[in-house]
Structure 1
Amino acid sequence: MSSTSTARWLNRMASDQYCLLHFLAFFSYIPIRSSASHLLLPSRSSLLFEREIQAVVVFSVIAAVKTVRAETWQTVISDSLLFAKIFLTALALVMDYHLGLWYALVFIVIHILTQQPPYEGLGNSIHLTPLQLEALLTEGNTSRFWLVEFRALSTSTCICTSSFFPELSITYSNKNLSFGVVDLGLFPNAAEKFGISLASLSQLPVYILFENGNEVTRFPELDFQGTVFSFSITKKILCERFELDKHLLDYINGK
């Protein structure tokens, strides 16, 4: 992700209701902890302090590892918030189990009412309606290859992977290979036409490579019963599965 796109996305995250509510929940621990320090028994207060130190150390290590290994800031922030919620709830349980239950309830309500904002940088991918995609695939004067992402931004998986496709399109799009996005959350009736089941939105996103209008590769794959094989999705896996480096080299070499 470019530095400009990253900054724009982080600025949006900072002002988004999703992050604001999480920030308020995390910040509330400070006044609660300060008030409780005068009410807890010395032994409980000492135990709580030890657990707080352990939580900070473990969380810092996890955040550092995620920052190094993750491909996008969306993944880093999403994973960091998840572990922060787990540690905060655990600390609250040490302080008082009623408080721990309240924090768990607050985070459940935040999860229900809000969601992490998706990446909005378009890159070189084109947002298409199903009719537009069908027209592009059947016209002979368009790209030989079309790599299309079918997604629904109501799912956490699609939100976490929402920057992968635009970034790949910036690197690999050319006159022979184009990138398109179809939002099945807006056009659910199009799913069946492309062999995608919406029985479980957790199966999205689905990526299909078309050559001259015909499907040649799909990820994740379907078995003979139409069940989706579950895989984690990364930019590296998409590059390998659709041989994007080979397509780019073929274009450079005039093939």
Structure 2
Amino acid sequence: MAKKSNGGWYVERDQENSYDRVRWLNLMISEPYYLFHLLVFFTYIPVRISAFQILSPARNSFLLKREIQVFVAYCVLTVVKIVRTESWESFIQDILLFAKIFLTAIALVLDYHLSLWYALAFLVIHIIAQQPPYEGLGSSNHLTPLQLESLLTEGNTSRFWLVEFRAFSTSACVCTSSFFPELSITYSNANLSFGTVDLGLFPNAAEKFGIPLGSLNQLPVYILFENATEVARFPEFDSEPYVFGPTITKIQIFSSFNNDQLGNNSHYEPSNPSV
């Protein structure tokens, strides 16, 4: 985004930040994943009020100390995550996980039946609802496998295509869902185009592009095509599957495709360098 005169750039940036805050507030209310979590968290308020009336002063004092300790620990972890987070989706996922752990732990201090109830409630939410991914497209295109093949074989398209293969049924793809649109806005030009293929919708495309369906936990995968030929991919698939996929950042995605793979174009510049 180019800087504008008379402070116009800053006004536009403030408007974008305000839009993001409104969008997240709307998601908290409208998305079942967030709404169900908020409802479960707020049930602790009437539970705590009832416990205050029933428990002895010594027991209430002990519980209050544990609540303060849990709150301080949660705040510290939240600050750490704010500093280290790569996306809002990843940040929300982490702080919700911490909140669920701490709420279940403090409920255990009250009564183990209550703790089991919270654990069951969070398990049900995990089964029936899914964290929504980032909805922006940036300069990338949602492609079917046939559309991708057609674009790669046509001679009048971009020389390079950087394609993200993902499946939103995996948490890693949800947490990194904003990376590719942001990179596409910054680096898309006449020589390099961006596209995404959802393997959750088109699982048959996985084998065609050398992505084992049994390794979906290692998604997303980014493949760079030059004139319909694959020249690089990130990350490389391991022969041995593992539970937790590799940590992926925006810097890793684009830096993994070096200048040699992009054709040694010394004149190559991002189309939107200020983003």
| Aligned 8 A contact 2:145 2:202 in 1 | yes
Deviation at 1:47, TM superposition (A): 1.8
Indicate how the Cα distance of structure 1 residues 102 and 192 shifts in structure 2: closer, same or farther if over 3 A, else same.
Answer: same
| Aligned 8 A contact 2:215 2:241 in 1 | no
1:110 maps onto 2:117 in alignment: no
2:66 is aligned to: 51
How many residues of Structure 1 are paired with residues of Structure 2 in the alignment? 252
Residue aligned with 1:50, SS = helix
Structure 2 distance, partners of 1:4, 1:240, is 31
1:13 is aligned to: 27
Describe how 1:113-192 pairs up with structure 2 within 5 A: 113-192=128-207
Residue aligned with 1:180, SS = strand
Unpaired runs of 5+ residues, structure 1, are none
Structure 1 distance, partners of 2:171, 2:162, is 22
2:45 is aligned to: 30
- Which of these residues, 192, 199, 209, is aligned with residue 194 of structure 1? 209
State the Cα deviation string for residues 142-191 of structure 1 (Å, max 9, x = none): 11111100011121111111101000000011111110000011110111
Q: Indicate the percent of aligned positions where both proteins have the same amino acid.
A: 63
Structure 2 distance, partners of 1:138, 1:10, is 40
Unpaired runs of 5+ residues, structure 2, are 1-12, 271-275
Residue aligned with 1:178, SS = strand
Deviation at 1:72, TM superposition (A): 1.5
Structure 1 distance, partners of 2:158, 2:240, is 29
The residue type equivalent to 1:251 in the other structure is: Y
Deviation at 1:213, TM superposition (A): 1.1
1:240 maps onto 2:255 in alignment: yes
- Which of these residues, 82, 93, 101, is aligned with residue 78 of structure 1? 93
1:251 maps onto 2:260 in alignment: no
Deviation at 1:249, TM superposition (A): 5.4
The residue type equivalent to 2:93 in the other structure is: S
Indicate how the Cα distance of structure 1 residues 230 and 154 shifts in structure 2: closer, same or farther if over 3 A, else same.
Answer: closer
TM-score with structure 1 length normalisation? Answer: 0.91
Residue aligned with 1:216, SS = strand
TM-score with structure 2 length normalisation? Answer: 0.85
RMSD: 2.4
Structure 2 distance, partners of 1:94, 1:28, is 16
Deviation at 1:219, TM superposition (A): 1.1
